[in-house]
Chain A
């Protein structure tokens, strides 16, 4: 920790200003109350202030040393008793010795010094206590500040990490099944295999992108979801039917990247995976107030008892939009007849 006074010009000015007044009061007290000569009072006062100013500044180093350990109360008091006695003694006798060596006739001053001894001792100890208190106050404020900064950093890092983790949760089934489809297509239709490799690569690049700006125009998100859905269509063929109805004005709106993928994945999982019939997945996007509403609707068979999923897909979306938009966004799901509807509201941002 840097010296709180010495390392700061304006504090240093205030510091010496305070000591100037301390010195001035000391001179006045000596002159009016202790019957010192004017010269002796002035010299003693100035020296006292200068001397104590330096000593008080030096006290910082033992104080910081003492405050860093976990001292017991008794130990703490003892340490400061010793430190205060040494500091005050140096000050008392230092000032006396220098003042005496500056004055031609110091017998009078010696009397005046003896008369004011108890006052000096009291003032010295009092100032010591004030200085120590100030230092401890400073140390604690500094500690709290550091802790706050550390906590803020930690929180930010956690948030970043969490967002990154939430974003990159692509179902490994999707990846390996797609690769298996490609493996099959190399035999029956190499052209299509190559096409699918490219689509898969483009999609993975988007999904795994580690760029800072993870907020993308809706247009970009939709283009990449198209890649994802085309890959799924290769796997499931005619079984998967896609429809869309997207309001033109929404295309430039900003959304977190890969926010739609878990919704589609959920629709495919509960629609297509569980069905032997055709499954229609519809996406509808509209402006709504100060944001946009995205609905993904899929057919499902309400009589099916579903295999329980882990439920992480939709939870991740909720967590992500919470982190991004501080609860201003929402995701709701509902079942109507044989339709499952996921509704996502995202507020518009710059």
Chain B
């Protein structure tokens, strides 16, 4: 007979009463061990790295780092159960391959169902790797443009304000973000940035390039039907035919 290992649970949630409730709902499960509680996204990230929990209850709207941003910079993802007050994020959470999505306030029954699903996933032999590629383009249509991009920096994280981004280049499965203070590599799609950066400030000029419109110094012809953008810092970027059309529409 194999002794089942305890399941390590971490609660990341900025409101105290909400944490109390989760602990209360968990109190009936002897196999669950609450290894920590965090009141903001950043300490949540640190705790996940230190404690490597099996299951995380994760709020979305939190100080310092939102639940989604936390997942963006996490290398090894535990199973996630989102807890949030409002369902504008439901589709995103689903795309992120989360175990479940609890809408506050929730009942013990609803909580139990989510928890059972989580335990099931953890106990199952074939644990899927949690969405390395699921983490793309999860923002729903019509959400306001993003204002910052979170990137890993050494052991920590840093934020790139969207206002400082000059251009973004595609590099295989990654994108290189060039901004005023340097550059940063991030696993994300061009499509994501095309649809989530402010549309009046950025333009997709090529399959492999998105550029801030006011960074472009001039456009010159380059071969048949294609062009080249020369930026203020003398950087040259390819412009495809459809990219040229996009650019003309935005600057008209």
Instruction: Tell whether B182 is near chain A: CB-to-CB under 8 Å.
Output: no
With a cutoff of 8 Å between Cβ atoms, the chain B residues found around residue A2 in the complex are: none
Q: Mark B17-46, 1 if CB is under 8 A from A, else 0.
A: 110110010000000000000011001000
Q: Are B147 and A235 in contact (CB under 8 A)?
A: no
User: Could you say which residues of chain B place their CB within 8 Å of the CB of A177?
Assistant: 15, 18, 85, 104
A186 to chain B: closest residue by CB: B21
In the complex, the answer to whether B63 meets A176 with C-beta atoms within 8 Å is no
Contact B161 A305 (CB under 8 A): yes
**Would B147 and A180 count as touching, CB distance under 8 A?**
no
Known contacts A184-B20, A184-B21; is A179 also within 8 Å of B105 by CB? yes
Bound-state Cα–Cα, A187 to B24, Å: 8
Asked whether, in the complex, the Cβ of A274 is within 8 Å of the Cβ of B104, the reply is no
Q: Give the interface SS of chain B, mostly helix, strand, loop or mixed.
A: loop
- Chain A, range 72-88, C-beta contacts under 8 Å to B: none
Q: Are B145 and A187 in contact (CB under 8 A)?
A: no
Bound form: Cα–Cα A177–B106 in Å:
11
Contacting residues, chain A, for B14 (C-beta < 8 A): 236, 273
Indicate whether A181 reaches chain B with its CB closer than 8 angstroms.
yes
Of the candidates B17, B106, B145, which one forms a contact with A308 in the assembled complex, judged by CB atoms under 8 Å apart?
Answer: B145
Q: How far is the CA of A176 from the CA of B83 in the complex (A)?
A: 11
Please give me the residue from chain A that is nearest to B158 by CB atom: A305
- Contacting residues, chain A, for B144 (C-beta < 8 A): 308-310
B61 CB-CB contact with A under 8 Å: yes
CB pair B159–A179 under 8 Å, yes or no, is no
**Cβ contact of B105, chosen from A182, A234, A275, A276, cutoff 8 A:** A182
B148–A305 contact, CB under 8 A?
yes
Whether a CB of chain A sits under 8 angstroms from the CB of B64 is yes
User: How many residues from A make CB contacts under 8 Å with B?
Assistant: 29
**Which residues from chain A contact B159 at a C-beta distance below 8 Å?**
305
Min CB gap A236→B, angstroms: 7
B147 touches A181 (CB 8 A): no
Asked if B61 and A183 make an inter-chain contact with CB atoms under 8 angstroms apart, the answer reads: no
Complex Cα–Cα for A307 and B18 (A):
22
Within 8 A of B (CB), among A269-294: 273-276
Looking at A276, A306, A309, the one whose CB has the most chain B CB atoms below 10 A away is A276
Contacts of A309 in B (CB 8 A): 144
Is B146's CB within 8 Å of the partner chain A?
Answer: yes
Residue among B16, B24, B40, B66 making CB contact with A307, cutoff 8 Å:
B66
Interface residues of A in 304-350 (CB under 8 A from B): 304-310
A172 at the interface (CB under 8 A from B): yes
Contacting pair A172 B85 (CB below 8 A): yes
- Contact partners of A122 in chain B: CB under 8 A: none
B222 at the interface (CB under 8 A from A): no
Of A180, A234, A274, A275, most buried by chain B (CB within 10 Å of CB) is A180
Most B-side CB within 10 Å, residue of A175, A183, A234: A183
Is B86 at the interface (CB under 8 A from chain A)? yes
Q: Are A276 and B40 in contact (CB under 8 A)?
A: yes
* Contact call A176/B18, Cβ cutoff below 8 A: no
24 A-B pairs with CB atoms under 8 Å apart are A172-B86, A175-B85, A176-B85, A179-B105, A180-B17, A180-B21, A180-B104, A180-B106, A182-B105, A183-B105, A184-B17, A184-B20, A184-B21, A187-B21, A188-B20, A234-B17, A236-B15, A273-B14, A274-B63, A276-B64, A305-B161, A307-B66, A308-B147, A308-B148
B interface residue numbers (CB < 8 A to A): 14-18, 20-21, 24, 39-40, 43, 61-64, 66, 85-86, 103-106, 144-148, 159, 161
